[in-house]
Amino acid sequence: MSVVQAGAIVLPRQMRGDIVHGVLSSGLNSEVCGCLFGFIEGDAIYATEIKWLKNESTIADRFVICDSTLFSISPWGCSVAFVHSHRNLPCRPSPADESAMHDLRMPWVIVWVEDRSASLGAPGSRFRAWIVGKERDVVELPIRTAALEG
């Protein structure tokens, strides 16, 4: 099955927390990106591990991955999606994101984190996933949360 035909992406609860922590630890003024590894079963993509990637951009609200970084991730296993933060944009792919999604043919999980800890006691976050559809349009991919199996 092609990743493009997936019906949902499944993220373990702990991974959602790890992603928010990764975004917050980078500072709220820079974007972060990582590669999700896992497997495909039926029409679902199951993420089991995340590897953060180096940002080659010198602009805080932009993320650039060099080709050598993309090639270096292959020994880690089956990459099933990218995770990417947005700072001042909604949780929807930018035109640059859409172009990369078409080139790489992988889903993108976009995370927006708002640091509201001073007023609410904890940061808020939003997760949305996107995929290139059958008509080459970018469509939302449902995200399901799963407990870790042990």
Q: pLDDT, tens digit, for every residue of 51-73? A: 888 777 777 666 667 655 555 55
Q: How many domains does the chain have?
A: 1
pLDDT score of 119 more than 60: no
In a domain, 12, yes or no: yes
CA-CA distance, 68 to 120, in Å (whole number)? Answer: 41
In a domain, 133, yes or no: yes
The structure's pTM equals: 0.77
126-138 pLDDT tens trace: 788 888 877 788 8
In a domain, 49, yes or no: yes
Closest CA to 33 of 101, 109, 103: 109
Domain that holds residue 77: 3-140
Q: What was the pLDDT predicted at 117?
A: 47
- SS3 state of residue 67: helix
In a domain, 68, yes or no: yes
- SS3 state of residue 91: coil
* pLDDT band at residue 3 using 50, 70 and 90 as cut-offs: very low
In a domain, 147, yes or no: no
In a domain, 149, yes or no: no
Q: Domain of 67: which CATH number?
A: 3.40.140.10
CA angle 43, 9, 3 (to 5 degrees): 55
